[in-house]
Amino acid sequence: MNVGYVYNPIYLEHDTGSHVENSTRLTETISVLKESNLLDQLINIPARAATEEELLEIHIKSHIQNVANVAKAGGGWLDTDTITSSHSYEAALYAAGGLLTALDSLMNNDVNSAFALVRPPGHHATKRRAMGFCLFNNIAVATKQALKKYNLNRVLIVDFDVHHGNGSQDSFYDDPNVLYFSTHLYPYYPGTGFIEQTGSGAGIGYTLNVPMPAWCGDAEYMKVFNKILLPAARHFQPQIIMVSAGYDTHWSDHLAFMQMSVSGFAKITGYLKDLANELCDGKLLFTLEGGYNIEALAHSIKATFEALMGKTNISDPIGPAPERSGLPDIDSVIDSVLKTHRID
């Protein structure tokens, strides 16, 4: 089982100081992967910078130029959440480009699956602006190239970050060639991703949002995947599955209110791996989005790689979420989504 990874030291040069989205997210992850001897079992996929032409498939030129100009001037805030430094533009080019080289490796059958350990993250970046810690929409840029360069016409994006990927949704809202599926805490930042957002024009029905209540954990996520994602994916028959992997749903993450565990992320990964094997010859590409408890993030990514490699004895050094009284009402959400999308 050939599993690839993308990593480049330039990602550390996106210097955000004490911001929660900082370079220790990757340095700790790489350290854990090395200490476990897992990194040596993976295939390194070199990153490259995305070209302006590739970015223009998703973003307008003035947005690209604004990111470049702010970085050239030494960095600064692009909005109230999103900060840049002098090397952030270059890091962002290599983040988007890292997914493109991973896509090439998958499509050329050099690897069976891959995980792009990139930053800055991307799924909030829209056509016109940076937001939510994101400069360019990495997964949208790669999805557009899957459609254009490799002539695919059915790409499934699965986004399990705690925040809704508004930028990814907007990029393909009217496109029937992309099925965008998102689980996210709602109501929460950025305020989008309600059930009734199903697409527009030819893309109606190809945006599938599952706005989840607080305190959902492993059992609730697997229930959503089994009851909603599985039939939707089988109906869509994707040629590749792209995953916005946000680990801020871990119970110890201080930015949100979910109850996922390291073991739960391993289960989700195994589930997506099985789905990819069933539907699209195993073509599965992960990219890093959120996750801000550094220890939980590193071990969750490690568990993701182990699940991609087919390992079943995966340790969870952090353990399950603390017990809570009462269970979140996920069944009513599932029923509403199924009814809206007419999923049997």
d(CA 306, CA 320): 18
Q: Look up the CATH architecture of domain 3-341.
A: 3-Layer(aba) Sandwich (3.40)
pLDDT band of residue 262 (cuts 50, 70, 90) is very high
Q: What is the pLDDT of residues 189-198, one digit of tens each?
A: 999 999 999 9
- Whether pTM exceeds 0.75: yes
The closest of 130, 180, 135 to 155, measured between CA atoms, is: 180
Q: Which two tokens stand for residue 176?
A: 């029937």
Is 124 a catalytic site residue?
yes
**Whole-number pLDDT of residue 115:** 99
**Whole-number pLDDT of residue 42:** 98
**Whole-number pLDDT of residue 280:** 98
**Whole-number pLDDT of residue 311:** 95
pLDDT exceeds 80 at position 48: yes
What percent of the chain clears pLDDT 70, i.e. is strictly above it? 100
326 vs 331, higher pLDDT: 331
Q: How much is the mean pLDDT over the chain? A: 97
Q: What is the pLDDT of residues 129-157, one digit of tens each?
A: 999 999 999 999 999 999 999 999 999 99
pLDDT band of residue 327 (cuts 50, 70, 90) is confident
**Whole-number pLDDT of residue 344:** 83
pLDDT band of residue 200 (cuts 50, 70, 90) is very high
**Whole-number pLDDT of residue 43:** 98
**Whole-number pLDDT of residue 326:** 87
The closest of 181, 182, 184, 180 to 163, measured between CA atoms, is: 184
Q: What is the pLDDT of residues 269-317, one digit of tens each?
A: 999 999 999 999 999 999 999 999 999 999 999 999 999 999 999 999 9
Are 19 and 38 a contacting pair, CB within 8 Å? Answer: no
Q: What is the pLDDT of residues 209-259, one digit of tens each?
A: 999 999 999 999 999 999 999 999 999 999 999 999 999 999 999 999 999
Q: What is the pLDDT of residues 73-117, one digit of tens each?
A: 999 999 999 999 999 999 999 999 999 999 999 999 999 999 999
Are 163 and 211 a contacting pair, CB within 8 Å? Answer: no
**Whole-number pLDDT of residue 325:** 87
Task: Tell me what the mean pLDDT of segment 160-187 comes to.
Answer: 98
d(CA 117, CA 90): 16
Using alpha carbons only, give the angle 42, 122, 159 rounded to the nearest 5 degrees: 75
Burial annotation 56-70 (CB, 10 A radius, 16+ → b, else e): eebbeeebbebbbeb
Selecting among 14, 59, 123, 124, the annotated active-site residue is 124
pLDDT band of residue 318 (cuts 50, 70, 90) is very high
Are 14 and 91 a contacting pair, CB within 8 Å? Answer: yes
pLDDT exceeds 80 at position 1: no
CB neighbourhood size of 320 (10 A): 15
CB neighbourhood size of 82 (10 A): 23
d(CA 4, CA 76): 34
